């Protein structure tokens, strides 16, 4: 598997230098970030959809946020939620250096509380990478915010503690979904109803 990863890394064009720096920063500080493959996947999804309205639950150091921001159209907007202001301060410093800080709004609040009254609708993409035991609650709250044909992407679906959630996600009547072996398992679903 490592050989395959090295092979694919060598095929891709070089990453944005801030993404490489942020990868190293996250590793050094022990802050979890999505895999590089998951970051590339998010970038492709954003490009493919020309997504300009993105909600992210779980900012951390902003690695996945930056992948999506760099792929967005110029007038795109990302709203990202994470209660840890120390981590999001690091994230914002990278957003600023990348010239993307005007397109990203950070909410340092509990996601469930914020989502209860979140005003944005017709979202193109929702990316969930936060407390896994709350994935179902997050999905139920954000699903009505997605536009028809909008997508939800969920990280860490194959870590082993999400069997019940994965079943719920894959059999949801208003979502066409699958789980791909990208990173620790990346769930992707499109709103069909």
Residues 166-189: pLDDT tens digits? 999 999 999 999 999 999 999 999
Positions in the chain short of pLDDT 50: none
What's residue 1's pLDDT? 66
pTM: 0.96
Range of the domain at 76: 2-191
Determine the pLDDT at residue 129. 98
Residue-level pLDDT at 9: 81
| Residue 149: CATH number of its domain | 3.40.50.150
Q: How many beta carbons lie within 10 A of that of residue 58, not counting itself?
A: 23
Total number of domains constituting the chain: 1
Residue-level pLDDT at 171:
97
**Sign of the CA dihedral running 59, 64, 33, 104:** negative
| Model pLDDT, residue 13 | 86
CB-CB contact of 159 with 132 (8 Å): yes
């Amino acid at each position: 598997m490592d050989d395959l990863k090295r092979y694919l890394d060598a095929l891709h064009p070089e990453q944005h230098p801030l993404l490489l720096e942020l990868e190293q920063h996250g590793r050094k500080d022990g802050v979890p970030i999505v895999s590089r493959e998951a970051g590339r996947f998010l970038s492709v999804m954003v490009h493919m959809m020309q997504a300009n309205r993105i909600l992210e639950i779980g900012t951390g150091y902003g690695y996945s946020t930056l992948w999506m921001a760099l792929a967005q159209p110029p007038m795109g907007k990302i709203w990202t939620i994470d209660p840890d202001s120390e981590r999001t301060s690091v994230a914002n410093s990278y957003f600023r250096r990348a010239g993307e800080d005007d397109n990203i709004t950070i909410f340092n609040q509990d996601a469930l509380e914020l989502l209860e009254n979140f005003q944005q609708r017709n979202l193109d993409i929702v990316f969930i990478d936060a407390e896994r035991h709350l994935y179902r609650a997050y999905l139920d709250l954000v699903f009505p915010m997605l536009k028809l044909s909008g997508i939800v992407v969920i990280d860490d679906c194959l870590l082993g503690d999400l069997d019940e959630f994965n079943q719920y996600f894959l059999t949801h009547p208003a979502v066409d979904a699958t789980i791909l072996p990208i990173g620790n398992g990346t769930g992707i679903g499109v709103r069909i109803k």
